[in-house]
Chain A
């Protein structure tokens, strides 16, 4: 079983007038699924959902750790992230997205309850780098 170290740091001096924000979280992940991916995707364009997983996300709860990073630096080129819940080979429901990455933004999440993770740009063809680590085998 592999070991993956993750660290998140968040800080701000002007979010609140009376309080500064600064903290760090760390975790040691142990993904054991039969699908571990790292890649770079040139998104097809608005109106087309590109899937990241190469096969259906499996295991109890269909769980996977996901890191996504929108490499675009162009204003407006944000990427919508949606869950494909019905079946691996079909597009997710229109507007069934739960996150969006603006240019330069990233996310890290232990996602679940989906067969596939779809990405669709609002405009242009922003490049997405990703790591998808399935948590459990079937």
Chain B
């Protein structure tokens, strides 16, 4: 599978988070995708039991080990999504409408479950070799 390029841009701004400074920052990065697990945008109905988002174990051996660029969004308007690592340790909770983009590392899988009911998770996983 030929290497691919992902352009990622993130902006954050606020005029009232601090009294003395305004916040306005945009960063862009061109990321090389060269792993063997390339999952495009996917939606999945969750439950209160963990389900793996990745279809095969993350196994890259480059910097950081088992690295993958991960996008996750909670498309629900009521319930939360809970994200845990391969040891069931929770490190993220996505409230309704919230999203994340981060380079996962050191975990063979990314798990997701709901706080209640069956909210739909939207996600993408792009593994690095």
Q: Which residues of A contact B (CB under 8 A)?
A: 2-16, 19, 21, 23, 25, 27, 31, 36, 38, 61, 63, 67, 69, 76, 78, 80, 83, 85, 95-102, 104-114, 122, 131, 133
Contact = CB atoms under 8 A, between A and B. Distances in A.
Nearest to A61: B93
Contact of A16 (B38, B89, B99, B104): B38
Dominant SS at the B interface? strand
Contacts, number: 156
Interface of B: 2, 4-18, 21, 23, 25, 27, 29, 31, 33, 38, 40-41, 63-64, 67, 71, 73, 85, 89-95, 97-107, 124, 126
A2 B38 contact: no
Contacts of B90: 112-113
Contacts of A97: 105-106
Given A14-B4, A100-B63, A110-B92, A6 B11 contact: yes
